Structure 1
Amino acid sequence: MYVAVKGGERAIDNAHDWLAQERRGDPAVPELSVAQIREQMKLAVNRVMAEGSLYDPDLAALAIKQAQGDLIEAVFLIRAYRTTLPRFAASRPVETADMVVDRRISATFKDLPGGQVLGPTFDYTHRLLDFTLMAEAEGCDTGPEQGTPEPAIPVPHVTQFLNRDGLIEEAPHSDDPPPDLTREPLELPADRALRLQAITRGDEGFILSMAYSTQRGYGRTHAFVGELRIGKVAVTVDIPELGFAVEIGEINLTECETVNQFKGSRTEPPQFTRGYGLVFGQSERKSIAMSLVDRALRWNELGEDFTGSPAQDEEFVLSHCDNIQATGFLEHIKLPHYVDFQAELELVRRLRSEAQSQQEAAE
């Protein structure tokens, strides 16, 4: 038994060495630095930060490099590291109305205070390969010189215009601190704050699939993007010794509010309702999908009918959206199951033998 264990250790060490060689690739090609990943693969970095529940572009870039670009593996690395960090304080809720926007669009109003800000997006590009990107870095232009940025002016949320006429539900507010999904296990039924935490940490592909299903008739939540905004917000923390809050930094966020029809109920008049998404970094697809799923999950509190949509099933969505849990359960089947399989093998052999005996007896 000892020899088998030692042999397994040797095999694992060799696998680690081989993995390191594969990660590095051809030594003749310059090694990809963490700074390059952070600056030139920002959307991948943003996804790892969002699903890893840790805002740190450098660590997310390091995780992507270590994981050879496998973003789920990178999320796993970030979450594992996150568990080792002490928590010194809890920040105040960020004020997204004060966001310094890089991008801000609305599908409901053409002209609005602050204007439409297209910002950096693939929305208006042609999906054609740009072979100039294959040019050597030394010969590439660094781009236009950046001028002095204009002073940032906070812009109000679009839904405020609908609020004036009472055409949209008021945003729910509670002074109770929300539960912390990173420290407490998920319990069902979950309130909206907990659901939003689970969805924002959930796998982008899964949330996208659920949101897509609502648009195709499963959930009846076809929505308008009231506003999608991307930009920087300040993070502030209350300092008890000082008696006031102190700004400790800025983070980039993507926020989406969708506007959905609502026919009304016995207690509520017909009006528009909201779906909400908030994600680290620039992550438009995830934030829009998140807002659609959030709205679909609110069917019960709004007195709507359950249509059988998977996106309306809280237990289904929240229990299966986490890609780390899904990966662990999926990939555990490649680990040794020798004893289990031998039991199954013996059972099948016995059943086959009994069936053959019965057939021979019948003949």
Structure 2
Amino acid sequence: MYVAVKGGERAIENAHAWLAEERRGDTSVEELSIAQIREQLKLAVNRVMAEGSLYDPDLAALAIKQARGDLIEAIFLIRAYRTTLPRFGSSNPIETSEMDCERRISATFKDLPGGQVLGPTFDYTHRLLDFKLAADGETIEVPERDAVPETVPHVTEFLNKEGLIQDEAASEDTPPDLTREPLELPADRALRLQSLARADEGFTLGMAYSTQRGYGRTHAFVGELRIGAVSVEMDIPELGFAIDLGEITVTECETVNQFTGSKTEPPQFTRGYGLVFGQSERKSISMSLVDRALRWEELGEDNVGAPAQDAEFVLYHGDNIQATGFLEHIKLPHYVDFQSELELIRKLRREAMERAVPEAAE
């Protein structure tokens, strides 16, 4: 139970003013612009868009600025704003095989049609602080970029030709929208993937890491990781055809996992899948590993009791906004609740002392 505190409104107003002052910082330092955040902190912007379930780099950058760099607070702001937006319809599934790839790698096949495209990545850096960035700023050298075919087939298609990997049947059903409907269990794979796509990156990473350490039955290879722009289209009934709404950048990961077979399925490889807004490699790989771990039942595997195999545990605890709200509410006033607990403890202590006196006398 929350109780009003006299003078609380004025204190809150002062706290807001102090927050604004802290957000701005030293006024002798140039103010950080939305454009700077959008262009130079792209990975943070991408995470806010992905976990906020809204693709808008400008709004994500604004949320990061307003939240003073607290990404979970920024995600909260984006989700809250998203609830105010009308929904006009659903877009068609994006065709990632037609992605304009800026990065495309495979850990399973060296020679790929279109080649391996390293793109912008930290993978080959030395992880040493570059003090030149602080002293001289950043010097840009634009590298030559190899041409990538317009249509880039997925690596798993090569395995599929030989029947070595489980075929994924397309579904005609539209999954529920988690931004408008609460999560309900049991959840099918499409709903689980939607939940994982907006789950906290750190939580998803931890779950994925647990599967690699043996808390699950997956031994995954990155079949393909690709990043690039894809077109978003929407069918317009009045026109009778689909129109192009624009492009979004996404990261897609397909993992290839060993499967020894079951009573209904022959030995073959199976897939884990991850798709996230923007360049978000760590999240998409983690998502694909957890996706595969959650498929144990449909594949006829044994549940070894691993946390990543427990859909309720993963899906209900992965939402950082829900977790933050539940955790941080305990710092708000609970005066009445605590007083009742205090009186209970005092009563129990009195009763214990009253029982102890006769025992001492004996």
After TM superposition, the score normalised by the length of structure 1 is 0.96
Aligned residue in 1 for 2:16: 16
Aligned residue in 2 for 1:339: 336
Contact 2:114–2:149 under 8 Å retained in 1: no
For the aligned residue pairs, the C-alpha RMSD in angstroms reads 1.4
Change in Cα spacing, 1:297 to 1:148, as seen in structure 2 (3 Å) is closer
Unaligned ranges ≥5, structure 2: none
| CA displacement at 1:65 relative to structure 2 | 0.2
Aligned residue in 1 for 2:28: 28
| CA displacement at 1:176 relative to structure 2 | 1.2
Aligned residue in 1 for 2:178: 181
| CA displacement at 1:23 relative to structure 2 | 0.3
1:1-363 mapped onto 2 (5 Å cutoff): 7-135=7-135, 137=137, 140-141=138-139, 143-144=140-141, 150=147, 153-363=150-360
SS at match of 2:7: helix
In structure 1, distance between residues paired with 2:218 and 2:195: 20
In structure 1, distance between residues paired with 2:155 and 2:145: 28
**What amino acid sits opposite 1:128 in the alignment?**
L
| CA displacement at 1:270 relative to structure 2 | 0.3
| CA displacement at 1:151 relative to structure 2 | 7.0
| CA displacement at 1:181 relative to structure 2 | 1.0
1:197-243: CA deviation from partner (whole Å, max 9, x where unpaired): 10011000000000000001111112000000000000001111211
Change in Cα spacing, 1:76 to 1:251, as seen in structure 2 (3 Å) is same
Contact 2:250–2:276 under 8 Å retained in 1: yes
In structure 2, distance between residues paired with 1:150 and 1:255: 20
SS at match of 1:348: helix
Q: More displaced, 188-197 or 353-362?
A: 353-362
**What amino acid sits opposite 2:89 in the alignment?**
A
| CA displacement at 1:89 relative to structure 2 | 2.1
In structure 2, distance between residues paired with 1:103 and 1:281: 12
**What amino acid sits opposite 1:159 in the alignment?**
T
1:134-157: CA deviation from partner (whole Å, max 9, x where unpaired): 1365xx54x235889957522110
| CA displacement at 1:20 relative to structure 2 | 0.2
Which fold has the larger relative contact order, with Cα–Cα distance below 8 Å and residues 6 or more apart in sequence?
2
Poorly superposed stretches of 4+, deviation over 6 Å: 146-149
After TM superposition, the score normalised by the length of structure 2 is 0.96
| CA displacement at 1:352 relative to structure 2 | 0.9
Q: Percent identical across equivalent pairs? A: 76
Unaligned ranges ≥5, structure 1: none
Q: How many residues align?
A: 357
SS at match of 1:256: strand
